[in-house]
C-alpha cells in the first residue's frame, strides 16, 4: 500500500546534508499530504510516531553509528551519497531484536 507520493528528486537531494541541519528550502517541491485524501494514513502515522521517544540529534547519531547499524556497515570516510540497502536495515533490525532478547527486554 502506498501511503503517499513525493518528488523523488527532492528527496534524493536531502542525502547531501548528511549530519547537517536540513533547511526548510530543501523541502520545496515536496507536496504536503492533503488531509481529506490521506486522513487515515495521517492518523496511522501520527499514532505510530506518538509511540516512540523523540531523542536528541546526539542520541540519534550515537544510535545510528553503533557497530551493528546499517549506516556503519556502509560508511566510508569522505564519501557522500552512500546507499544503505534494505537488506542492511533488516539485518540491523534483527541484530537489535536479538540483542534486546538476550538482555531480557520485552520478556515481561
- Which residues of the chain, if any, have pLDDT below 70? 1-15, 17-19, 27, 30-36, 105-108
| pLDDT value, residue 5 | 46
Same domain, 61 and 24: no
What pLDDT is recorded for position 106? 52
Dihedral angle sign, alpha carbons of residues 92, 93, 99, 102: negative
**39 and 70 part of one domain:** no
Residue 74 is predicted with a pLDDT of 92
Domain check: are 69 and 45 in the same one? no
Q: Grid cell 540491523 — which residue?
A: 92
Number of Cα atoms under 13 Å in the Cβ half of residue 96: 13
Domain tally, the chain: 2
**What are the C-alpha distances in Å from 104 to residues 4, 59, 91?**
37, 22, 20
Residues 34 and 80 in one domain: no
Q: Are residues 61 and 97 in the same domain?
A: yes
Q: Are residues 64 and 45 in the same domain?
A: no
Same domain membership, residue 83 and residue 48: no
Query: What are 63's three cell numbers?
Result: 544510535
Give the end of a domain, one of 52, 72, 87: 52
- In angstroms, the CA 6 to CA 86 distance is 19
Residues of the domain holding 100: 55-108
Give the model's pLDDT for residue 1.
39
Whole-model pTM?
0.48
Amino acid at each position: 500500500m502506498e501511503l503517499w507520493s513525493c518528488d523523488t528528486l527532492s528527496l534524493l537531494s536531502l542525502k547531501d546534508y548528511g549530519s547537517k541541519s536540513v533547511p526548510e528550502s530543501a523541502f520545496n517541491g515536496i507536496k504536503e499530504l492533503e488531509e481529506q485524501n490521506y486522513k487515515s494514513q495521517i492518523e496511522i502515522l501520527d499514532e505510530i510516531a506518538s509511540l516512540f521517544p523523540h531523542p536528541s540529534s546526539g542520541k540519534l547519531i550515537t544510535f545510528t553509528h553503533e557497530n551493528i547499524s546499517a549506516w556503519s556497515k556502509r560508511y566510508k570516510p569522505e564519501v557522500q551519497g552512500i546507499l544503505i540497502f534494505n537488506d542492511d536495515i533488516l539485518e540491523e533490525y534483527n541484530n537489535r531484536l536479538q540483542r534486546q532478547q538476550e538482555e531480557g527486554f520485552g520478556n515481561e
